[in-house]
Amino acid sequence: MTLRQPDHYDIAILGGGLAGLSTLYHLERAGKLVGKRVVLVDPEGKKTAHDRSWSFWEAEPGPFEELVHHQWPLVTVHDGTRNLDCDISPYIYKLIRSTEFYAHVNKVIDQIEGLERLDARAEEVRAEGNTVRFKVNGEEMEADLAFSSLPLHLRPRQISAPYLDQHFRGWFIETKEDTFDPGRAALMDFRTPQHGEPRFFYVMPFSKRSALIEIAIFSNNHLETAEYDRLIETYIYDHWTKGGYEVTHAEDGNIPMTTYPFPLRDRNLIYIGMRGGATRPSTGYTFYALQRQLTDLADQFPNLDNLAPWPRKHLLYDATLLRILQNGELPGDELFVDMFAANPPARVLAFLNGETSFGQELKFMSTTKVSLFARRFIGELYKTLRTSS
């Protein structure tokens, strides 16, 4: 009997969403895929849909600058009593739609000579010696190196790290009358009943008559779609327009926010995207840090020594913030609006992007409820030291 040779690739990309596609894109752009046999495995095939909109802030033009659908130099932050208008210079808040992202990235990826796409699930993925093995449609395959963004389904009650879901739903609306300022986005608007959990709106206007209005809730209790819709409707009525408008598109989802120690790799199996801890635990933002990480990875490839998407100390700050929110020790509106009220906006955004020095972090922390933060911070530090020893 002859044993069938498994299909062998130099590089396997398991999962072709944001992280998988971005990895291929940056490696191709850096000229690191010449002569390589590459396989991209995703059951959803070549993506084209408007299935998500990525917003983020950055101080310099980024690698996908030409795809930016809209950008805002000013943001606002609100709670029941405070309405803060923030000039975020040198940062600019930007939004890229998945439609443009997938089209652009796929065009570049399709130029990779040795690329094979498999519209199927990768299963039984495991690192064995210097090889990564996996199955596709029951067939055994292997690669010298694999990047996996296959979801890891964490259960909050089974992990000791703080964990909150950020569940959200957004409407793209067109209003009949001029309603919005297209130069100003609401980054966090807490003017909605809080029900003991942080609930806020993002408002991203694209013109005077069109915007994305999204409610985000940090909690592990999800709502029915109709309940999110009712909250959005009430918010629009109370704060934007009592006239008519049309909902042209809706988007929803969930982003796990946790300082769970996502492994970065298992030998030649490299974890990327949400699976590799690219999501900022205290905000859910992923896009910017992921592109920063993957641009560096592609530059240094095949050296894979520096994989961490976030500085370690920031994960400790986030564990502190998340624990305070999860325990309900400080209401989310007070916590976040205080940050913007007591700091230059660029310092808050630099902190949330993991771009601050220790001195700036101390200043930042000193504007929060110091005794509570210090107590929680020491607690998280102790837990981290205990689990890593």
**Binding track over 30-69 against ligand FAD, x by CB under 6 A:** -----------xxxx-------xxxxx-------------
Selection from 350, 275, 274, 341 nearest residue 314 by Cα: 350
149 near ligand FAD, rule: CB under 6 A:
yes
Residue of 172, 190, 228, 287 interacting with ligand FAD (CB under 6 A):
287
The burial of 182, by beta-carbon neighbours within 10 Å (0-12 exposed, 13-18 middle, 19 or more buried), is given as middle
The answer to whether the beta carbons of residues 94 and 101 sit under 8 Å apart is no
- Which residue number is nearest to ligand FAD in terms of Cβ? 17
Q: Which is nearer to ligand FAD, 112 or 365 (CB)?
A: 112
Q: Which is nearer to ligand FAD, 273 or 345 (CB)?
A: 273
Residue of 80, 90, 151, 311 interacting with ligand FAD (CB under 6 A):
151
User: Which range in 12-20, 57-65, 216-224, 337-345 contacts ligand FAD by CB under 6 A?
Assistant: 12-20
3-state SS of 143-209 is: EEEEEECCCCCCCHHHCCCCEEEEEEEEEEEEECCCCCCCCEEEEEECCCCCCCCCEEEEEEEEECC
Count of C-beta atoms within a 10 Å radius of residue 107 = 10
122 near ligand FAD, rule: CB under 6 A:
yes
**Structure-token pair, residue 85:** 């208008």
Residues 222-281 that bind ligand FAD (CB under 6 A): 251, 253, 255, 273-275
Selection from 103, 96, 95, 93 nearest residue 21 by Cα: 103
352 near ligand FAD, rule: CB under 6 A:
no
Residue of 12, 16, 94, 364 interacting with ligand FAD (CB under 6 A):
16
d(CA 128, CA 345): 48
**Structure-token pair, residue 337:** 């609006």
d(CA 175, CA 117): 42
Q: CA distances (Å), 270 to each of 84, 265, 266, 273, 378, in order?
A: 42, 4, 6, 10, 31
9 near ligand FAD, rule: CB under 6 A:
no
The answer to whether the beta carbons of residues 77 and 86 sit under 8 Å apart is yes
- The nearest distance, CB 361 to ligand FAD, in angstroms, is 21
H or E element at residue 252: strand 245-258
Bridge partners, residue 164, by sequence? 257
150 near ligand FAD, rule: CB under 6 A:
yes
Residue of 17, 62, 277, 332 interacting with ligand FAD (CB under 6 A):
17
**Structure-token pair, residue 94:** 């930007």
d(CA 102, CA 97): 9
285 near ligand FAD, rule: CB under 6 A:
yes
- The nearest distance, CB 123 to ligand FAD, in angstroms, is 6
- The nearest distance, CB 255 to ligand FAD, in angstroms, is 5
18 near ligand FAD, rule: CB under 6 A:
yes
- The nearest distance, CB 110 to ligand FAD, in angstroms, is 17
- The nearest distance, CB 144 to ligand FAD, in angstroms, is 19
Q: Which is nearer to ligand FAD, 55 or 343 (CB)?
A: 55
Q: Which is nearer to ligand FAD, 92 or 330 (CB)?
A: 92
Residue of 179, 259, 286, 356 interacting with ligand FAD (CB under 6 A):
286
The answer to whether the beta carbons of residues 360 and 351 sit under 8 Å apart is yes
- The nearest distance, CB 293 to ligand FAD, in angstroms, is 12
Q: Which is nearer to ligand FAD, 18 or 86 (CB)?
A: 18
Residue of 11, 13, 15, 28 interacting with ligand FAD (CB under 6 A):
15
Residue of 14, 164, 211, 216 interacting with ligand FAD (CB under 6 A):
14
Q: How many residues bind ligand FAD (CB under 6 A)?
A: 30
d(CA 132, CA 140): 11
The burial of 119, by beta-carbon neighbours within 10 Å (0-12 exposed, 13-18 middle, 19 or more buried), is given as middle
User: Which range in 107-115, 146-154, 292-300, 379-387 contacts ligand FAD by CB under 6 A?
Assistant: 146-154
Q: Is residue 86 helix, strand or coil?
A: strand
Residues lying near ligand FAD in the complex (CB under 6 A) are found at: 14-20, 41-44, 52-56, 121-122, 149-151, 251, 253, 255, 273-275, 285-287
